[in-house]
Amino acid sequence: MKIQAKRVEQVRTTAECVAC
Amino acid sequence: MNVTKDSVIEFHALRSRPENEEETLIGRPDISNYIVLPNIGIEIIERLQSGQPIFEMEAIFEERFGEPVDVLSFVQDLIYDYQFIHKVDGAVVNEKTEWKDHLPFLTERLGNFFFNRFAFALYALLFFSGLAAAVVRTEYFPVYSDIFLSSSVTVSLVTAFLAGWFFLFLHEIAHLMAARSLGIGSRIGLSHRLVFMVAETNMSNIVLLPPHKRYRAFLAGMAWDGALFGVGVWLQVLHGAGWLALPEIVIAFLRMINLSFLLGLGFQFLFFMQTDVYYVFTARFNCKNLIHNTRLYLRGLRNRLDEAQQQEWEGVEEKEKRVIRWYAWFYLIGMVWALFLFSSVTLRQAADFISKTYDSMAGHPVLSWPFLDGVLLIALTLVPFSIVVWSWIRTWRERAWKMKQRDNLTT
């Protein structure tokens, strides 16, 4: 029996700069 | 570095949260690496932490399940893939790292003041009332030419650049404060999404909270942007009605930042990238790793999965797979559309602007205002592109370093 893990993604909230 | 069935295993500090009766989320808060394990995996980690050797465990489990349990290969995964293990037989296999929160002086209490239910209701009211006012009275609705607040291109672009960066980080500070109000520390940095430069707040330890408690932190940035947009519209309305006299330059500034807020809010809805709306979406549907698993799905459709990827795809929850089957369309169409938009609009505009600026510099001596003016404008235009390239290189290097570290350990 193999033990299978599920990866959890990192949480990186963002903002894009239109005027930069 | 070899692990044997009687190796002594020493773990990094781990934190966990039960997901349901069969599974637990567990990980290293210092590098924000988290996985979801079945109960047997958690039991193995606990037994290893208490010093029980692998061979003893394998005997116990074989008796319990009536089949052999591959504890050794699981321990190898814990070392190489998840980096949960600090030392094997006294030798360091994964270095300790220290996570430092940014802006620790912004307290939990302050975060609660700005990001509670009442505050969010106020932000929503400001945004939607402002949006309604701008739809009814279209002269208050942002248009592209609002980016130029002065007849001087240089003054306009320098102001837009400075205001843009200021409000960019204000958005991130909103995320940081809202996460802090939930007891989660974050770090702010610069990065890229696809081909766009972004500021980002790494609040990965928020997965230690159940999904329904995370919305506050995900929506905080848009809430402030939206509220400020609403305030900008209402100030213009009051000015237009003659109830509040504002200097023309202030009105021009409000129009410029309102354009930037509206486009910035629009960007968040491009949820085929990891934007704020994407995280709200994944919390709502309880997806663990939506974009990564969508890429696996699309590779699988073309029969391009290796054995490890195939196993990983098979381990994805049925619920998440159902979401992926329709999300994949958004992902594909969104990617193509964003790349088309970037190359046909953003890149072309920047190239046009740089070539026009260059033409206006030609014929002037190097130490003259028109020439220096041109240098400044070209430099400002290149900043976001440079940051994207720097962020790409950083990502490639990190990936290469991880691969190299893995190879070093496994040989």
Domain boundaries defined on chain B: 9-92, 108-284, 363-411
pLDDT at B330: 87
Q: Going edge to edge, which strands form the sheet with B196-202?
A: A12-16, B196-202, B187-193
B230: which 2 tokens? 């609403």
CB nearest B68 (choices: A1, A16, A18):
A1
Query: CB distance B67–A8 less than 8 Å?
Result: no
DSSP state letter for B13: P
B116: which 2 tokens? 């509670």
CB nearest B193 (choices: A3, A5, A14):
A14
pLDDT tens by residue, B13-68 = 998 989 888 889 999 998 888 999 998 899 899 889 889 898 888 898 888 888 88
Q: What is the DSSP string of B333-388?
A: HHHHHHHHHIIIIIHHHHHHHHHHHHHHHTTS-TTSHHHHHHHHHHHHHHHHHHHH
All residues at 6 or more sequence positions from B109 whose CB lies less than 8 Å from its CB, including other chains: none
Q: What is the DSSP string of B158-175?
A: HHHHHHHHHHHHHHHHHH
DSSP H helices, A1-20, are: none
Q: For residues B34 and B204, give the distance between their C-alpha atoms in angstroms, rounded to a whole number.
A: 9
Return the minimum-mean-pLDDT range out of B128-137, B273-282, B338-347.
Answer: B338-347
Query: CB distance A15–B65 less than 8 Å?
Result: no
Q: For residues B407 and B240, give the distance between their C-alpha atoms in angstroms, rounded to a whole number.
A: 67
How does pLDDT run along chain A (20 residues), one tens digit per residue? Answer: 878 798 799 898 989 787 77
Q: Which residues of A touch B164 (CB under 8 A)?
A: 17-20
Q: Sorting pLDDT into bands at 50, 70 and 90, what band is B91?
A: confident
CB B260 within 8 A of CB B293: no
Helix (H, G, I), strand (E, B) or coil at B50: coil
Across the A/B interface, how many CB contacts are shorter than 8 Å?
147
Q: For residues B60 and B69, give the distance between their C-alpha atoms in angstroms, rounded to a whole number.
A: 9
Q: Sorting pLDDT into bands at 50, 70 and 90, what band is B270?
A: confident
In this predicted structure, the answer to whether residue B409 has a pLDDT above a threshold of 70 is: no
Q: What residue of A is the nearest CA neighbor of B263?
A: A18
Which of B166, B175, B257, B290 is the best mutation test for A, with the most CBs of A within 10 A? B175
Query: CB distance B164–A7 less than 8 Å?
Result: no
Query: CB distance A20–B161 less than 8 Å?
Result: yes
Give the mean pLDDT of B101-114: 89
In this predicted structure, the answer to whether residue B402 has a pLDDT above a threshold of 70 is: yes
CB B86 within 8 A of CB B11: yes
CB nearest B35 (choices: A6, A16, A20):
A6
CB nearest B207 (choices: A2, A11, A20):
A11
Give the mean pLDDT of B247-261: 90
Supply the angle between the helices B290-301 and B307-314 in degrees, to the nearest 10: 120
Q: Which residues of B touch A3 (CB under 8 A)?
A: 37-38, 40-41, 44, 69-71, 74, 77
In this predicted structure, the answer to whether residue B406 has a pLDDT above a threshold of 70 is: no
pLDDT at B344: 85
> Among candidates A19, A17, A10, which has minimal Cα distance to B274?
A10
Nearest CA distance, A11 vs chain B (angstrom): 4
Helix (H, G, I), strand (E, B) or coil at B86: strand
Give the mean pLDDT of B356-380: 85
Q: How many residues does chain B have?
A: 411
In this predicted structure, the answer to whether residue B327 has a pLDDT above a threshold of 90 is: yes
In this predicted structure, the answer to whether residue B1 has a pLDDT above a threshold of 60 is: no
The overall average pLDDT reported for chain B is: 88
Q: What residue of B is the nearest CA neighbor of A14?
A: B200
> Among candidates B172, B175, B163, B178, which has minimal Cα distance to B191?
B172
Q: For residues B349 and B343, give the distance between their C-alpha atoms in angstroms, rounded to a whole number.
A: 9
pLDDT at B411: 58
Comparison of pLDDT for B283 and B89, the residue scoring more: B283
Query: CB distance A18–B204 less than 8 Å?
Result: no
Q: Sorting pLDDT into bands at 50, 70 and 90, what band is B177?
A: very high
Q: What angle do CA B149, B155, B156 make, to 5 degrees?
A: 35
pLDDT tens by residue, B208-235 = 999 988 998 999 999 999 999 999 999 9
Give the mean pLDDT of B294-319: 85
pLDDT at B261: 94
Q: For residues B354 and B382, give the distance between their C-alpha atoms in angstroms, rounded to a whole number.
A: 9
Q: Sorting pLDDT into bands at 50, 70 and 90, what band is B386?
A: very high
Q: For residues B261 and B231, give the distance between their C-alpha atoms in angstroms, rounded to a whole number.
A: 12
Give the mean pLDDT of B68-75: 87
% of residues, chain B, pLDDT over 90: 42
Q: Which residues of B touch A18 (CB under 8 A)?
A: 164, 259-260, 263-264, 267
Query: CB distance B168–A8 less than 8 Å?
Result: no
Q: Sorting pLDDT into bands at 50, 70 and 90, what band is B410?
A: low
